[in-house]
Amino acid sequence: MSTKSDIHILVLDDEPFMLKLLARLLMNLGFTRVATCDNGQTALERVDDAALAPQIILCDLNMPGMDGIEFVRKLVEHGYAGSLILVSGEDERTLQSARTLVQAHHIEVLGSLQKPVSPQALHQLVERWVPPARVTQHLQGKGYAVERLAQGIEVGELVNYYQPKVSVSTGAVVGVETLVRWRHPQDGLVFPDQFIGMAEAHGLIDALTQVVLAQALRDSASWALQGLKIKVAVNVSMDNLHALEFPEQITAAAAAAGVAPQSIVLEVTESQLMKDLRAPLEILTRLRLRRFKLSIDDFGTGHSSLVQLRDVPFDQLKIDRSFVHGAHHNETLRAIFYASLGLAKELGMEVVAEGVEDAADWEFLKDTGCDLAQGYFIARPMPADQVLVWVAGWQQRWAAGYPGTPFA
């Protein structure tokens, strides 16, 4: 396990005063291997030196010669595998743009600091660093053969996890989102980012969705028998919405499980642009007529847009986590959040805020008029047999005045 004395940190800034200040702050925090550079080229030379290569780089954005943005591109070319903290006197929107760019280059961003830098903010960011050996397999990624996924679907290796949604105003547990996992016999629990795209690309998404839906309906019926009557959301890809018999299939499955359509929320995600909306629009409208709830997922990202709100009879809107977490201190995120919330309310839609990760996110939501919240501050995804226990614990914490999950 790495200690502060083992971590190599490099401070890159063209101002001598800032170099000395940041180095001194880091030393005061217990980091002893702190180096400084006043230009990007010298910093890249250290990156290339195995004995001196930093695990964390504090990088100023606005530097003469090679600026911070160009330096990031050069880091990729040099194969940098560490983390970055961006430092700048620029405005928050410029910092956010830089963070997004770094993430697009697949370099971990621990966060950003605006000048003048506070010791507390610096401490919080460097404490986020995790040694590479502790990164879990699902984050590293692994390729799977299409045939192996098809076999996994057929033999029952897919399992549902559930993440609760709660009322922001009353704390009532009103629903759960179904999140599929692949229980691989060799690799353990595989997360959906490793196989959903493959399922969509190779025609397996219908079979996968049917398995997930059937499990969700069984679990919903079981919870209801034990006194927990909540809405269960299932993700539906636009690729599912090409079969005109889909409304009949889901209606029959719900009836067989004894679950009312009003208790089922279909969260529609659109990972690719649909050239012909006739079939999806027919299917979604028929589902709405049958009283299934329709939710537009990850609003504001990808192809989830105003066009879908105009054309599809959605009655719920989920604001994407990227516009929720940190909105309390980020003016840009806050403006986007309120615009999305206001639009949904004008259309008479229920609003869910995803990505409620900490107490600050929760406190922010309390005064916004947002209906429901979902995220790690409330609960992590859990197996079906843990939901009832979690609900009891949540209700006790809510009554005591501290709703946040102890496992967040």
The predicted model gives 202-210 an average pLDDT of: 94
Give a yes or no: residue 180 inside a domain: yes
The predicted model gives 97-107 an average pLDDT of: 89
Asked if 325 contacts 346 with a C-beta cutoff of 8 angstroms, the reply is: no
- Of the residues 106, 134, 162, which one is the last residue of a structural domain? 134
Q: Are residues 216 and 110 in the same domain?
A: no
| Segments forming the whole domain that contains residue 220 | 137-400
Q: Name the least confident of 130-134, 146-150, 328-332.
A: 130-134
Q: Are residues 97 and 148 in the same domain?
A: no
- Of the residues 84, 99, 134, which one is the last residue of a structural domain? 134
Give a yes or no: residue 407 inside a domain: no
Count of structural domains within the chain: 2
CA gap 304, 100 in Å, rounded: 19
Q: Name the least confident of 1-5, 57-61, 241-245, 358-362.
A: 1-5
Q: Are residues 224 and 344 in the same domain?
A: yes
Pair of tokens at residue 290 = 């049958």
pLDDT at 154 over 60: yes
- List, for residues 275-333, the tens digit of each pLDDT value: 677 888 999 999 999 999 999 998 877 666 788 888 889 999 999 999 999 999 888 89
| Cα dist from 31 to 2, 5, 319, whole Å | 12, 5, 39
* Amino acid making up residue 147: E
Give a yes or no: residue 405 inside a domain: no
Strand partners, 232: 176, 264
Q: Are residues 107 and 255 in the same domain?
A: no
Q: What is the pLDDT of residue 405?
A: 65
We report the CATH number of the domain holding residue 51 as: 3.40.50.2300
- Of the residues 87, 115, 134, which one is the last residue of a structural domain? 134
Give a yes or no: residue 408 inside a domain: no
We report the CATH number of the domain holding residue 362 as: 3.20.20.450
Q: Are residues 243 and 336 in the same domain?
A: yes
Q: Name the least confident of 27-36, 48-57, 94-103, 129-138.
A: 129-138
Q: Are residues 95 and 158 in the same domain?
A: no
Give a yes or no: residue 192 inside a domain: yes
